[in-house]
Chain A
């Protein structure tokens, strides 16, 4: 059985009020959700509050929850909207109306040992991606880090599938410039 199917079984038990299943869901997704949250803000308390709110709401509304496409997908989507909502209510007096304005930032591990060429390329990738608008950075993350498919990304980011393709292509267009003058040998 795939882990996605396992997760859906767990989800079903949790919806019936199984505290154990709920605990397992938390333990399985805590780290992933924190990592995702960290892309939007470096304020750890803020992320923790959002994760807490998310899980408290899951439990209190469990009997009204449906069966999501995938559990991971659902949790990402929920965390994302919780973060945006919290951010908006924290700054009710500033004019944040558009959720596109939440920054998104991937950080890179300098400690990973890599060849000089790889290292150089990694820096280039970071420079190029850091310059992308937040939503383009987010779609790159969901696609290449989390390996969500188009349908899942459109669900998480709350846009149509057509827009998802468009957004990814826009982002990839900029990313291509990384290879302007580098030679890379075949990797397969």
Chain B
């Protein structure tokens, strides 16, 4: 390397020199040797070199903010938004009745063109899941809805032209395709609305979980922004806007105050047939088995339902859940087919 150009360098020039800067930041034996030679060769540049070095090293001694403790958490949010859906094989089922296995494979393989043709000429589209069944519904706009057991999703013929509206019973996780390009001009077809009884959930593109059972709707938002509106006959509609991690319950015409979930991604653990409860009450935990798996639960004493498991449990599968409850609350649980008796 020719060093003659350094004869006229000032501190500023050294700081602007690529070779010099990289020799300070990531020195190699060769580069250190070279700069030593330059300093010896031009003694009057020694101060400038020293100043430039000190400045770079001093500047680099600043704090780093890595946010490392949030790395895994944020990844889960990203995964929930775009990650592979870990549900059962995709089945486009056009009738409530389950198709024979062979037909089911055929339905999945038939090019989408045929399927969407069917969509247009069919009346209301209706998808249902049996107890314990989890199904992905792929809508014409690319929106994915993961339906939990004992749930249904309905939308009208010619869907998506003027508006994207669906009706949900039971529980579903929505990953809505974002069509809006300009948030100041929202076209009607870009709006996506989920109706649960008289509650409307309005979104542009986002991921959230809705549980509409027992005259009560629970809504938890994973990413994006949604607006909930309650339709009322006599008074103006009331609405609430949710931010990521917000969770509300709607019952008796009223939306509860917003709660902030520490782990919004746990809203959709049911996709993996996982059960996660924090300080869960026995009654609430077994209610899930009734709702989505079709079990009938009988209690010898109603007070048993109030027993609580302190802390968090995280198990996969019905059997594991029953074992955990039985062991930690010292209750006997008998299972006979779809009947569960708690003593």
Q: Which residues from chain A sit less than 8 Å from chain B, CB to CB?
A: 19, 23, 26-27, 30-31, 34-35, 38, 44, 47-49, 51-52, 55-56, 59-60, 89, 92, 106-109, 112, 114, 118, 121-122, 125, 129, 140, 143-145, 147, 149-150, 165, 168-169, 172-173, 175-176, 178-179, 184-188
The reply to whether B58 and A122 contact each other, CB–CB distance below 8 Å, is yes
A45 CB to closest chain B CB (Å) equals 9
Residue from A26, A52, A184 whose CB has the most chain B CB atoms within 10 Å: A184
Question: Which residues of the partner chain B approach A19 to less than 8 Å between Cβ atoms?
Answer: 83-84
User: With A and B bound together, what is the CA distance between A187 and B16 in angstroms?
Assistant: 18
The reply to whether B50 and A109 contact each other, CB–CB distance below 8 Å, is no
The reply to whether B54 and A107 contact each other, CB–CB distance below 8 Å, is no
The reply to whether A31 and B55 contact each other, CB–CB distance below 8 Å, is no
Query: With A121-B54, A188-B32 in contact, is A109–B61 under 8 Å at CB?
Result: yes
The reply to whether B62 and A108 contact each other, CB–CB distance below 8 Å, is yes
The reply to whether B68 and A147 contact each other, CB–CB distance below 8 Å, is no
The reply to whether A26 and B78 contact each other, CB–CB distance below 8 Å, is yes
Query: With A30-B71, A38-B65 in contact, is A175–B15 under 8 Å at CB?
Result: yes
Question: Which residues of the partner chain B approach A150 to less than 8 Å between Cβ atoms?
Answer: 18
Question: Which residues of the partner chain B approach A114 to less than 8 Å between Cβ atoms?
Answer: 61
Q: B12 interface residue, CB < 8 Å from A? A: yes
Give 16 A-B contacts (CB < 8 Å), ordered by A residue. Answer: A48-B67, A52-B74, A52-B77, A52-B223, A107-B63, A109-B62, A118-B58, A125-B58, A144-B55, A147-B26, A149-B18, A169-B12, A175-B15, A186-B39, A186-B46, A188-B35
The interface residues of chain A, by DSSP majority, are classed as helix
The reply to whether B223 and A140 contact each other, CB–CB distance below 8 Å, is no
B interface residue count range (under 10 / 10 to 19 / 20 to 34 / 35 or more): 35 or more
The reply to whether B12 and A186 contact each other, CB–CB distance below 8 Å, is no
The reply to whether A125 and B55 contact each other, CB–CB distance below 8 Å, is yes
Question: Which residues of the partner chain B approach A44 to less than 8 Å between Cβ atoms?
Answer: 67, 70
Residue of A nearest to B46 (CB): A186
The reply to whether B67 and A186 contact each other, CB–CB distance below 8 Å, is no
B77 CB to closest chain A CB (Å) equals 6
Query: Which B50-66 residues have C-beta < 8 A from chain A?
Result: 50-51, 53-66
The one of A26, A108, A147 in contact with B63, judged by C-beta atoms closer than 8 angstroms, is: A108
B16 CB to closest chain A CB (Å) equals 6
The one of A35, A59, A89, A176 in contact with B183, judged by C-beta atoms closer than 8 angstroms, is: A89
